[in-house]
Amino acid sequence: MRMKFVAALGLTVAMGTAMMVFATPPAGSGSITGKVTYTGTPMKMKPIDMSKEPSCAKQHATPITTENVITGPGNTLKWVVVYISAGDEGTTTPSQGVRYDQKGCEYLPHVLPMEAGQQLQIYNDDQTSHNIHPLAKVNQEWNKSQPPGSPPIDTKWDKPEFISVKCNIHPWMHGYFVVLKTSHYAVTGDDGTFDIKGLSPGKYTVTAWQEQYGTKTQEVTVGNAAATANFVFTATPY
């Protein structure tokens, strides 16, 4: 999916919602749809104390929580990246980039997938400075300060990698850049569902990644209609 910049600065994002990034799928009538769920007892997310940063704290009517494991109705999991890990044809680097926002001392979205080589713009929408520190291991690690009102940071990642990102000023800020070698991917929403569109008929390896519980993989055959792939993670309370 080719990503487009999300328009509109200053959107108010309530707890449990996310800024969505839309894309246009490549040619192909097939798709893979499914749901990601869990068994067991998931870890409990902790409320975040932003009292040391009043300009951010006042943007949240109630305290937000950490987002390592976000669950929904019917034992579903949010923020799971589902992507084609084998069987996909190579694609050219998208001409349009993706956008990452810092608003209310929170990363929006919590997990941002993109293609290797795709342009990334990081915005500071807050009245306070942030220090963006992607903890890359395969790609180059960097650490940049971004004062309020400053222009976006323009960057990109050349190699596929799951990159944890943090703010060195606000230790509760945590998210992920998911750099992939495919244009076919999706992120589960509040109901745990996903839909990967624009696939040609064929056999694919599909992988689901969750930051706390790792990966699950299965083989899927796609025809001219929708194929199904459901994933179940084993949740632990720690």
Q: Which of 114, 107, 80, 119 lies closest to 19, judged by CA?
A: 107
Looking up tokens 């230790």 gives 171
pLDDT value for 225 = 80
C-alpha span between 238 and 69 (Å, rounded): 11
Q: Are residues 154 and 231 in the same domain?
A: no
Q: What is the CATH number of the domain that holds 204?
A: 2.60.40.1120
The four Cα atoms 227, 201, 195, 70 give a dihedral, to 10 degrees, of: 80
Model confidence, pTM: 0.87
Number of alpha carbons in the 13 Å side-chain half-sphere of residue 138: 14
C-alpha span between 230 and 117 (Å, rounded): 30
Among 181, 202, 224, residue at a domain's last position: 181
pLDDT value for 70 = 98
Series of mean pLDDT values for 10-residue runs along the chain (238 residues) = 38 37 56 98 96 97 96 98 90 88 98 97 98 98 97 97 98 98 96 96 97 98 93 93
Question: Quick check: is 50 in a domain?
Answer: yes
pLDDT value for 90 = 65
Question: Quick check: is 22 in a domain?
Answer: no
Among 132, 160, 181, residue at a domain's last position: 181
Q: Return the structure tokens found at 60.
A: 């949240």
Question: Quick check: is 3 in a domain?
Answer: no
Q: Nearest 5°: CA angle at 177, between 172 and 179?
A: 165
Are 187 and 177 a contacting pair, CB within 8 Å?
no
Q: Are residues 150 and 221 in the same domain?
A: no
Q: Are residues 70 and 99 in the same domain?
A: no
Q: What total number of domains does the chain contain?
A: 2
pLDDT value for 27 = 57
Domain of residue 197, residue span? 28-86+184-238
pLDDT value for 237 = 86
3-state secondary structure of 232: strand
Q: Return the structure tokens found at 33.
A: 């749809």
